[in-house]
């Protein structure tokens, strides 16, 4: 009777040739690592033409096969050892590309896609890994909420046209409409202006070099007149109410019965003290009427638009509204409900890697992003990485084993998480903490980026465990994958059931190292011990749970 000899069957495809990895070659799948798949392949010194083609800067792929399983990995580094006459190739799945890719300019497009975390991921992948394919999966709305102040003192025109002023070429009056109303500007000539501020006081203060954004809805009364346009203007004044400059928004053709939105954004001059928004009407004529409603003026980044609101609006599950002072005669304040995010977290900064940009956003909704060995990207919940297959390890098949129970490894056991966000904007430093869990074994993580809520809770969910891990070396099984169930029986330790966290194959020796986590002990005769031969439905219903 003879014992079968296991022979290595791993190979890597280089320049059309299948080459066999030498001693020291390894292949790893690790769901706790980035990249998820990696390999170190040692080969005899290669011919000059093949060696010359192995340039990791040109996106070379090095397909690797092992036990009939394919691993499509990219070349990240090649090292030639002339003394040992070997070449070592460092390979990785495509997260390595995303980690290295950094844009040269700021990209605010992700903010416009915040209704879908999948859309944001697809946008970034399209820039960094153009041929990436994202597998179907769950989605989440990650739209941020942030405070805003409507500086206008009567934006809803509640019963009057107070704080609105005719600037010439027209007269204005109030028209009731429901609980509020609108401004009716009757033209006395071809051109006119309506200020959204009381020009006898000019009481809208401005901060020097701050950015201001204004909007208003406008339409003409019938009939339609071709060439009749309106535009929104921001006029900045000094402390003495003397005009400094005016910035004009784009002209908009007026439509009868249909509101058009006028907008303008401008940065205040260094000596600005006040701002006066007004509507400039052109191409009209005596007797024509322009209707204005829903005025808005706020300080902030124009890339993050604010919908018109007043302090009298009803709140909802996203925002509450209030006046700073007297109703309909003071600025209106919009306050987010709950723990809001920061819209700047959705701006992909120049020089920031795609991975660093996406990781906080993905983690904040409890998801994970990874690329498998077949170059298929996944955005999913952590539990989706579980695989309905099992590996059984016994002393007879294991050459080495280690069972560790620790209270000090924060990667396998914590009671709490603190994520400390630190960032700088316009020369001002900000710092904010996101906290989850209970005091005790607490892990602190620092992120140099704007605040995103929910990350601490998501990290805690993924890190909480028993503090126990097992690692074993067994005969190689090419189908082994992180997420599989692992049942392990080692001498001197109770039988355990857990989940494979990482697999590391020795490609030359036909052995593999398994790292397992989430371990629980199996008592002889309980249901877990019978699992595989006995269904839960077959267990005696009269047994107590702890005895089952």
pLDDT given at position 4: 40
**Tell me, which fold does domain 1-93 have in CATH?**
Phage tail proteins - horseshoe like beta roll fold (2.30.300)
DSSP 431-456: EEEEEEE-SSSEEEEEE-S---TTHH
Burial of 471 (0-12, 13-18, 19+ CB in 10 A): middle
- Return the DSSP state at 47: P
List CB contacts of 196: < 8 A, sequence separation 6 or more: 152, 155, 163, 164, 214, 216, 277, 278, 279, 295, 297
Residue 544: helix, strand or coil by DSSP? Answer: coil
- Chain centroid offset of residue 516 CA: 29
pLDDT given at position 331: 96
Say how far apart CA 292 and CA 254 lie, in whole Å.
Answer: 11
What is the helix, strand, coil percentage profile of the chain, to 5?
15, 40, 45
pLDDT given at position 382: 85
Single out the residue of 381, 364, 401, 425 nearest to residue 488, CA to CA: 401
Residue 207: helix, strand or coil by DSSP? Answer: coil
DSSP 274-285: EEEEEEEEES--
Q: Could you tell me the residue ranges of all domains in the chain?
A: 1-93, 102-134+345-383, 148-336, 468-547
Q: Please, are residues 54 and 75 in contact by the beta-carbon 8 Å criterion? A: yes
Structure tokens at 427: 């020369």
pLDDT given at position 233: 97
Structure tokens at 474: 């067994």
CATH fold match for the domains 102-134+345-383 and 148-336? no
- Domain at 148-336: CATH code: 2.60.120.260
Single out the residue of 193, 416, 397 nearest to residue 284, CA to CA: 193
Q: Please, are residues 391 and 500 in contact by the beta-carbon 8 Å criterion? A: yes
pTM: 0.85
Residue 226: helix, strand or coil by DSSP? Answer: coil
CATH value of 102-134+345-383 in 3.30.1490, 3.40.50, 3.55.50, 1.10.3110: 3.55.50
DSSP 312-362: TSPP-SSEEEEESSSTTSS-EEEEESSS---GGGGSB-TT--HHHHHHHHH
**Backbone angle region of 426, left / alpha / beta, with phi > 0 → left and psi within -120 to 50 → alpha:** left
pLDDT given at position 301: 95
10-residue stretch averages of pLDDT, the chain, 548 residues long: 50 88 93 92 90 90 92 95 93 96 96 97 97 96 95 89 92 84 92 93 93 96 90 96 96 92 97 96 93 95 95 93 94 92 93 95 93 96 82 66 65 80 84 86 85 81 62 86 83 75 89 80 52 46 46
């Amino acid at each position: 009777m003879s014992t079968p000899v296991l022979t290595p069957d791993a190979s890597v495809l280089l320049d059309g040739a299948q080459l066999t990895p030498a001693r020291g070659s390894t292949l790893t799948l690790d769901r706790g690592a980035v990249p998820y798949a990696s390999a170190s392949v040692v080969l005899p010194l290669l011919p000059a033409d093949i060696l010359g083609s192995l340039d990791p800067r040109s996106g070379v792929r090095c397909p690797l096969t092992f036990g009939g399983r394919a691993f499509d990995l990219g070349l990240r580094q090649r090292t030639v050892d002339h003394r040992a006459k070997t070449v070592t190739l460092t390979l990785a799945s495509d997260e390595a590309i995303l980690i290295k890719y950094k844009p040269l300019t700021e990209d605010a497009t992700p903010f416009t896609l915040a209704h879908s975390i999948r859309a944001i991921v697809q946008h970034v992948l399209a820039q960094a890994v153009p041929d990436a394919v994202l597998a179907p999966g769950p989605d989440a709305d990650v739209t941020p909420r942030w405070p805003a102040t409507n500086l206008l003192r009567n934006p809803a025109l509640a019963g009057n046209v107070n704080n609105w002023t005719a600037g010439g070429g027209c007269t204005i009056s109030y028209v009731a409409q429901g609980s509020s109303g609108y401004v009716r500007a009757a033209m006395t000539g071809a051109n006119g202006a309506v200020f959204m501020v009381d020009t006898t006081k000019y009481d809208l203060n401005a901060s020097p070099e701050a950015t201001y954004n204004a909007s208003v809805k406008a339409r003409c009364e019938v009939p339609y007149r071709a060439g009749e346009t309106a535009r929104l203007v921001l006029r900045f004044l000094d402390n003495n109410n003397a005009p400094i400059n005016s910035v004009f928004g784009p002209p908009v053709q007026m439509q009868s019965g249909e509101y058009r939105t006028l907008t303008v954004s401008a940065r205040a001059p260094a000596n600005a003290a006040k701002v006066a928004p007004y509507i400039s009407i052109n191409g009209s004529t005596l007797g024509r009427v322009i209707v204005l409603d829903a005025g808005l003026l706020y300080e902030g980044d124009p890339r993050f638009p604010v919908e018109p609101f007043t302090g009298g609006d009803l709140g909802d599950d996203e925002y509450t509204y209030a006046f700073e002072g007297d109703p309909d005669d003071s600025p209106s304040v919009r306050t987010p409900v709950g723990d809001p995010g920061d819209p700047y977290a959705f701006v992909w900064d120049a020089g920031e890697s795609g991975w660093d940009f996406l990781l906080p956003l993905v983690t904040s909704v409890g998801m994970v992003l990874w690329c498998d060995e077949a170059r298929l990207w996944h955005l999913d919940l952590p539990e989706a990485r579980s695989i309905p297959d099992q590996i059984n390890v016994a002393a007879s098949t294991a050459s080495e084993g280690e069972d560790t129970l620790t209270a000090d490894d924060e990667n396998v056991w914590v009671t709490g998480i603190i994520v400390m966000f630190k960032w700088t904007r316009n020369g001002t430093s900000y710092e904010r903490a996101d906290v989850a869990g209970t005091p005790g074994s607490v892990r602190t993580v620092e992120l140099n980026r704007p605040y995103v809520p929910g990350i601490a809770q998501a990290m805690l969910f993924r890190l909480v465990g028993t503090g126990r891990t097992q690692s074993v070396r067994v005969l190689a099984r090419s189908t082994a994958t992180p997420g599989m169930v692992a049942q392990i029986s080692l001498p001197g330790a109770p039988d355990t059931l857990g989940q494979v966290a990482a697999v590391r194959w020795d490609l030359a020796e036909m052995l593999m190292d398994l790292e397992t986590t989430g371990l629980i002990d199996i008592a002889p005769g309980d249901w877990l011990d019978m699992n595989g031969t006995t269904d839960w439905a077959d267990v005696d219903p009269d047994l107590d749970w702890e005895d089952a």
